[in-house]
Amino acid sequence: MNIGFIGLGNMGGPMAANLVRAGHEVRVFDLLAEHLAEAAAAGCIVAANAREAVADCEVAITMLPAGQHVTGLWLGDDLLGALPAGALVIDSSTIDVASARAVGEAARARGLRFVDAPVSGGTAGARAGTLTFIMGGEAPDVEAARVVLAAMGQNLFHAGPLGAGQIAKMCNNMLLAIQMAGTAEALALGVREGLDPAVLSTIMGKSSGNNWCLERYNPWPGVMESAPASRDYQGGFMTRLMVKDLGLAMALAEHAKSPVPLGAAARNLFQLHAQWGNEALDFSSIQRLYRGPEHREE
């Protein structure tokens, strides 16, 4: 298929590369030249701007930091007008529900199809093509999106109508933040009492405290070679993006009048951690918060 892809960061770059590997023609655009160079090396066609990237495409995909970027691009810059009737727009950014619905409704008014499809699985999943896509939209549009998303992910879920993908993603990321903070807290306690973090991780991983963070994303440096913690927390899912997602979850909870005391506590922890100079590090660097002042960036 002829696919336009905008947003080539830690997640978007590998995703676009996987589309090329699947045999699609992928035209890309990003504001950073180094991202475009990496995409070109992976076989993508570099466009001069966003409109050129999606012009006459059958499918247009965006992977952007926040709701204002998505609405600014599709609505403010009227990028929807560059697409032919019947084209499918897939937004895989994690954004607020109102923004997702605004772009989706505007797309439909122009005779376009739209699916909000935020992802889970981290940068490792993006590189391996094993992401989870959580989709919101009309059933026929979601089915059309599956054909494209299957090149980038293994688990494709239809959460419900337009915006439902974002709601499910916020719930997931709030739970992930709670798990990561709890895992870091438990590891720090054990290590302070003389336990080896790798041994403790193995014990908890085979016990009732097991969770995704222990299995695939251990926050203690050196315990898991593939985890960002063993690369000085470089790459991965940045703390500032987790803070953003937790803010979205808090706004959603306020709208739903749903109590989220653990989610609120996690947001405060990650926000404090970010303010201490760790916002560009992977979110598992929350481990530093528990290890003491000597491990915190000022």
* Rounded Cα–Cα distance for residues 93 and 102 (Å): 14
Give the other-Cβ count within 10 Å of 252's Cβ.
Answer: 19
- Let me know how long the chain is: 298
Say which DSSP state 277 is in: I
State the Cα angle at 30 between 152 and 48, rounded to 5°: 115
Q: Which amino acid is located at 172 in the chain?
A: N
Q: Which amino acid is located at 98 in the chain?
A: A
Which of 127, 67, 76 has the alpha carbon at shortest distance from 94? 67
- Helices (H) and strands (E) counted in the chain, each on its own, are 13, 9
257 noted as active-site residue: no
Q: Is the dihedral of CA 188, 191, 197, 199 positive or negative?
A: negative
Place of tokens 């089915």: 143
Quick check: 11 and 119 in contact, CB under 8 A? yes
- Quote the tokens at residue 2: 């002829």
Quick check: 177 and 161 in contact, CB under 8 A? no
| Active-site residue list | 169
